[in-house]
Structure 1
Amino acid sequence: MLKKETGMRTHCKLVLTLSLGLAATVAWAQNTPVGKWHTIDDETGEVKSLITITENGGVVAGRIEQLLRKGADPKALCAKCEGDRKDQPMVGLEIIRGAKQNRGEAVWEGGEILDPEKGKTYKLKLTPIEGGAKLQVRGYLGPFYRTQVWNRVQ
């Protein structure tokens, strides 16, 4: 009986250790901008779009996956954009480019973000907040900035 009880304790300890390790990995993975995000309209508070942020070689990029605003045209083009994004479809459009993580911090900077409705690009800072459940997205133009908070899609 004692051998069976000791084996059961060892099994329980192993399961608990693996569970804690998995929970820590999931928590760490959430403290990154990588993932799917809902953007929120500043004026109405409604969900505007679904953005997917990916990382390649330490550099993050983000694309519009879906337009979710009521009445949005899924075939809309970025008419006000410049350069390689001019007249490109909004769905699939890369709106985040070139941001890298600051060493030792949960902050990504150095890239740019595009406001496709205005066709303007801004310097960018991405900061996961609330344990990675939300993403603080700040666009800079000189000393002026605008901040939005996006919600992670599970």
Structure 2
Amino acid sequence: MKYLFTLCIMTLSFVSYGQSITGQWETYDDETKEKKAIIEIYKTDNLYFAKIVKSFKSDKNAVCDNCKGTKKGKPISGLVIIENIKKDDDEFNGGTILDPENGKIYKCYLELVNKNKLKVRGFLGVSLFGRTQYWIRKE
């Protein structure tokens, strides 16, 4: 019995930690709960990035007017909004997230809640001051 319990725990650990954050995720408006965008998370050189694949809040030709630097005036579709996230145990952190609505860049961490739900936290300074969203894996 003891061995069966240990085997179950090991299997559950493998399943939860073996999941990937890569793929497409749907985001929703915090207030209206309407679908906001489809975001694709991808991995390059052991770092994770995310770009907007489709925005439901703006037309297909919308650009990031509030962004600064090289992203100013770039199309919303295809815009990289998460950069340089590193995997650290079951959390992904050390990178930044861009809010294309206001052009501000925040520190960011991601945490896979389960295989279909991703916790996305953008914050200033310490993670106490920020905003959390939950993204749903696109089927």
- 2:71, 2:125 → 1: CA distance? 23
Q: 1:132 maps to which residue?
A: 115
- Whose strand fraction is larger, Structure 1's or Structure 2's? 2
CA-CA distance at 1:83 after TM superposition: 1.0
Q: Which runs of 5+ in 2 are unaligned?
A: 1-13
1:67 and 2:51 are equivalent in the alignment: no
Instruction: List per-residue Cα deviations over 1:10-68 (Å, max 9, x = no partner).
Output: xxxxxxxxxxxxxxx98665x22211000110110111000000001210000000012
Cross-structure match for 1:81: 67
CA contact (8 A) 2:17 2:90 kept: no
- CA shift digits 1:71-126 (9 cap, x unpaired): x2111000000111111000000000000000xx2211000000000100000100
How big is the alpha-carbon RMSD for the aligned residues of Structure 1 and Structure 2?
A: 1.8
Segments of structure 1 that go 5 or more residues without pairing to the other structure are 1-24
Report the residue type matching 2:78 in the other structure. G
1:100 matches 2:110:
no
SS of the residue 2:70 aligns to: helix
How many residue pairs end up in the alignment?
125
Q: Distance in 2 between matches of 1:27 and 1:138?
A: 20
Structure 2 counterpart of 1:53, from 26, 41, 45: 41
TM-score normalised by length of structure 1: 0.76
Match for residue 114 of structure 1 among 92, 95, 98: 98
Higher helix share: 1
The CA deviation string for residues 115-140 of structure 1, in whole angstroms up to 9 with x for no partner, is 000100000100011x2211000001
Residue in 2 that maps onto 1:15? none
Tell me the residue number matched to 1:148. Answer: 133
Aligned structure 1 segments of 4 or more residues deviating by more than 2 angstroms: 25-29
Distance 1:41 1:26 in 2: 30
**2:61, 2:42 → 1: CA distance?**
23
